[in-house]
Amino acid sequence: MRAKITYAVTALALIAYFVLAGSRGVMLVQVGTPLTVTLGCAVLVLPAVGLWFLWKNTQFARRAGVLATELEAEGGLPVDDLKRTPSGRIDRDSADAVFALRKAETEAAPEDWRSWFRLAVAYHDARDTTRARKAMQRAIQLHDARPAADTRG
């Protein structure tokens, strides 16, 4: 719940910034000189790209949350029993051991969204966020491609 609140506050702050930047871009365009119109258009691109990026990330997080909820209902969420350092960070060797298990699970069932979801969590625990995101995107694709009547795989 704390992560959702943090995300919402950050998203609202970004939206406020985009509105402010966009209003400045509109003001520059309204001045009407070739230079201010050019600068105004350039300023308007930034909030547009930012809003698109925020939208895509929000959709990704929402869809990953749907998968997590479904996997939790099935009792298939990975258990967080990783060793931690005194500061609370996940121990690298512990994360690597779980990663090897999740990778083998995914290689054995490459069309199962559940294994890709668990692999994404393992990548995240191993601090490889790029691969974690790609694995979660694959889990979402496989989940969304299932026949409607298929409730298990």
pLDDT of residue 81: 83
pLDDT 10s digits, 18-59: 999 999 999 999 999 999 999 999 999 999 999 999 999 999
Q: Which residues, in sequence order, are CB contacts of 8 under 8 Å at separation 6+?
A: none
* Domain spans in the chain, listed from the N-terminal domain onward: 2-74, 92-145
Report the alpha-carbon distance of residue 61 to residue 143 in Å, rounded: 15
**Has residue 151 got a pLDDT over 60?**
no
Break the chain down into helix, strand, coil percent, rounded to 5: 75, 0, 20
User: SS3 of 90, please?
Assistant: strand
Average of per-residue pLDDT across 48-75: 95
- What are 24's two structure tokens? 């400045």
Distance linking the first and last C-alpha atoms of the chain: 28
Tell the CATH superfamily of the 92-145 domain. Answer: Tetratricopeptide repeat domain (1.25.40.10)
pLDDT 10s digits, 107-142: 999 999 999 999 999 999 998 999 999 999 999 999
Q: For residue 44, how many other CB atoms are within 10 A of its CB?
A: 18
122 and 95 Cβ atoms separated by less than 8 Å: yes
pTM: 0.79
